[in-house]
Chain A
């Protein structure tokens, strides 16, 4: 029996957080930009359940709030980071897409972390630490030279890295399939990398796929690439009105929302309890974050 209630709690935390961030921007509590992961929450939640925080590392993308909260469910610190407050993960200096906490690290350049992750995995191989690197990428980033070069290096050096490609089918507004030759699977397999395809429309299968991918990397000390077909249920960033998606596509995505699927697997009482608990947690986190002070550059 899978821990559906636990998974739902983690996913719902991320969803609520992202909704609150959207409101935070309208209220002027936050500056800069944000990249929401509404609809994709289940990917980092399932992936982070497979890592060993003592020896593994994770590198992320610009769309990182879900990854951060799945790694370290501290909504207060992430809210502070988003508001530029001193209790943030990077003391408010990083903002939405520059976050480091424990063995998780991300940055704002698409694809750039794929090669950093490859180096961390190389260090683990040299140290014989037994750890692996979880590297999130997106379908837009897949075409970056960085990702292509990283895949080659990972295969050539046989390093323990698991790439999770969150394929939401749009690089911002650009439909990925129209601008990508061939398909990801053939391109990955051509480099002798173990490829697994999965989808957020079937979370049960996704959990099994992730487990088998992590097992493969740990046992074989070889790279693995999991392509997760998914859908973003919000804009790419705060200014995106999603005019590039048809009404029908948006509606279809919403009906296949993985959170709705999870809600179907738990009791109504569990669902309501989790919602109440998480909503209070998020409200508290944001209220406290508003009260937190900012740093200048004196933190150095």
Chain B
């Protein structure tokens, strides 16, 4: 199954099971969303789709208002870069209503994040870490290792306002939800899944902790390092990325690499790394350089994490 088909299926399930509404720009026919996630759905469920003018902060707030009245609301923000426009509603409204007023809110903001496609500085960022430290809301990240549609319906069911990030490069990919001929895929936790990709039953040399679109890069690097250097790696992929307290319990190697697509400095990796280091493990982090994301292919690649960064970190980084 393709990533996008699972996601679309999850949205359709919300509409058929719940009093659900989808709000966003260009989500209706004939467009079906900038990344075609809702393609075909608005024709089938016209009453559940609310197409909007370009007013992200207003329609995010409108979704929150509907959620306060008991609706199950998904807001689509066309590019993850524009979640800055939703920030006040998410941080000062939804999160406060949930945390301070005790409101159960079935409210998710879905958005595509990530680079590697030449979209340039304001259409490529992974800004979700900005929201990870905010009490009263949660940040959930999809990957190809777990059905995004199931993850969406689960996140929606928690009643906690959610930022739900999807990586642009994942939409067309096939999901890896069974073991393949190389990876042993294990789901380590119920609820919000934590997935482990392992190579054998032995204790691995390295654990790579990562999420989202970085999973593909981590998998490629791990394979390469096994064949070229006989280094064995496990990859740990949480989905509730704003909860970093428990991830450490699932790490088996002594050497940990935290890999994220967002800027490394002040990023998610610092939290995971702190817990890893506190438990006596070695830890290094890899993420984007502190730069805008250039449109040019060569320069973009220099800013973003890549397979070579992981290889270099494993071979040289822990000496």
Are A126 and B65 CB-contacts (below 8 A) given A109-B88, A112-B93, A115-B58? no
Residues of A within 8 A of B63 (CB): 119
Known interface pairs A112-B61, A115-B58, A126-B47; A120-B68 also in contact (CB < 8 Å) = yes
How many residue pairs link A and B with beta carbons under 8 A? The number is 99
Looking at chain A's contact residues, the main secondary structure is: helix
Q: Would A117 and B65 be within 8 Å (CB), given that A107-B96, A149-B55 are in contact?
A: yes
Bound Cα distance A230, B65 (Å): 29
Q: Is B53 an interface residue (CB 8 A)?
A: yes
Could you tell me if A109 and B93 are in contact, using CB atoms closer than 8 angstroms? yes
* A124–B88 alpha-carbon span in the complex (Å): 24
Taken together as a complex, chains A and B put the C-alpha atoms of A117 and B71 apart, in Å, by 14
Tell me how far the C-beta of B138 lies from the nearest C-beta in chain A, rounded to whole angstroms.
16
B 46-57 to A, binary, CB cutoff 8 A, 1 in contact else 0: 010010110101
Mask, A268-286, CB within 8 Å of B = 1, is: 0000000000000000000
Docked CA distance A105–B68 (Å): 10
| A 1-12 to B, binary, CB cutoff 8 A, 1 in contact else 0 | 000000000000
The interface stretch among A66-74, A92-100, A193-201 is A92-100
**Which chain B positions have C-beta within 8 A of A120?**
65-66, 68-69
Chain B contacts for A123, CB-based, 8 A: 65-66, 68-71
Q: How many residues of B are in contact with the other chain, CB < 8 A?
A: 29
Give Cα A57 to B59, complex, Å: 19
Cα A121 to Cα B63 with chains together (Å)? 11
* Complex: A196 Cα to B53 Cα, angstroms: 26
Contact (A156, B101) CB under 8 Å given A120-B68, A122-B62? no
Point out the residues of chain B lying under 8 angstroms from A149, CB to CB: 55, 57-58
CB pair B100 A112 closer than 8 Å: no
Docked Cα-Cα span, A127 to B66, in Å, equals 11
Instruction: Tell me if B288 counts as interface (CB < 8 A to partner A).
Output: no
Q: Is B89 an interface residue (CB 8 A)?
A: yes
Instruction: Determine if A152 and B55 form an interchain contact, defined as CB atoms under 8 angstroms apart.
Output: yes
Do A127 and B69 touch (CB < 8 A)?
Answer: yes
Given A124-B69, A126-B47, do A119 and B53 touch, yes or no (CB 8 Å)?
no
Cα-based distance from A94 to B100 in the complex (angstroms): 7
CB-defined contacts of B67 to chain A, threshold 8 Å:
119
A122 engages B58 (CB within 8 Å):
no
Residues in A with CB closer than 8 Å to B158 are none
Whether A98 lies near B100 (C-beta < 8 A) is yes
Which residues of chain B have C-beta atoms less than 8 A from A98's C-beta? Answer: 96, 100-101
The A142-157 residues at the B interface (CB cut-off 8 A) are 145-146, 149-150, 152-153, 156-157
Chain B CB within 8 A of A233 CB: no
Find residues 129-173 in chain A having any chain B CB closer than 8 Å to their own CB.
145-146, 149-150, 152-153, 156-157
- Contact between B101 and A100, CB atoms less than 8 A apart: yes
| Chain A: minimal CB distance from B159 (Å) | 14
Complex interface: chain B residues within 8 A of A94 (CB): 100-101
A98 to B53, CA, bound (A): 30
A116 interface residue, CB < 8 Å from B?
Answer: yes
Whether B55 lies near A119 (C-beta < 8 A) is no
Interchain CA distance A127-B62 in the complex, whole Å? 15
Q: Which residues of B contact A152 (CB under 8 A)?
A: 53, 55, 58
Residues in A whose Cβ lies below 8 Å from that of B66: 119-120, 122-123, 126
Minimal beta-carbon separation of A169 from chain B (angstroms)? 26
Residue of A nearest to B48 (CB): A126
Residues of A within 8 A of B53 (CB): 152-153, 156
A242 beta carbon closer than 8 Å to chain B: no
Pairs across A and B, CB under 8 Å, 12 listed: A90-B100, A100-B97, A112-B88, A115-B89, A116-B93, A119-B62, A119-B67, A121-B65, A126-B21, A145-B58, A146-B61, A152-B58
| 7 smallest beta-carbon distances between A and B, as pairs | A119-B65, A115-B61, A149-B58, A123-B69, A119-B62, A116-B65, A149-B55
Interface residues of B (CB under 8 A from A): 21, 47, 50, 52-53, 55, 57-71, 88-89, 92-93, 96-97, 100-101
A115-B64, A149-B58, A153-B62 known; 9 new pairs, CB 8 Å cut-off, are A98-B100, A105-B68, A112-B88, A115-B89, A118-B58, A119-B61, A146-B61, A149-B55, A152-B55
